[in-house]
Amino acid sequence: MAASLDRQAALTVLRFLNEELNVHMRDDVEDLFPLLARRCTKDDAIEGAISRIRAVQEEATCLLPLVRATLARCLDTGADLNASDRVTFAEFAGHVRSHLVAENAILLPIARARLTRADLRMLSQNMLSRRGLPPILESSNAQ
């Protein structure tokens, strides 16, 4: 671990936490999870996987206010992270890592197998809309 806080990296992380993370979690909760639950078979056991991922998200979300406040404090005061801050950040990173591993190893392969092109277009449009971006115009020869 670095001896001192990288101010630019801390600012980048804080911006991501403030501007992107909640949107990503909404993508999961409002669109991806319900769609997978509808499309998957009982053998996919998707409900259990979604429940585990949501539990990890909740654990990370509980730490989010402290992580944000710590980054803001360090940026405002020029202070470095103390030992307690580092423990909190390591715990938060562990939850985020677990979420990403489960999403990439479990959900995405199942999504590739179960979701239709129409499902993917709808997911894409909802994600763009949630971010305030314009919809993608479909060309007539798009397959």
Question: Could you read off the pLDDT of 48-67 as tens digits, one per residue?
Answer: 999 999 999 999 999 999 99
Q: Which CATH architecture has domain 7-126?
A: Up-down Bundle (1.20)
> What pLDDT sits at residue 5?
86
**Residues of the chain where predicted confidence (pLDDT) is lower than 50:** 142-143
- Overall pTM > 0.95: no
Query: What residues have CB less than 8 Å from 130, skipping those under 6 apart?
Result: 23, 26, 27
> What pLDDT sits at residue 138?
67
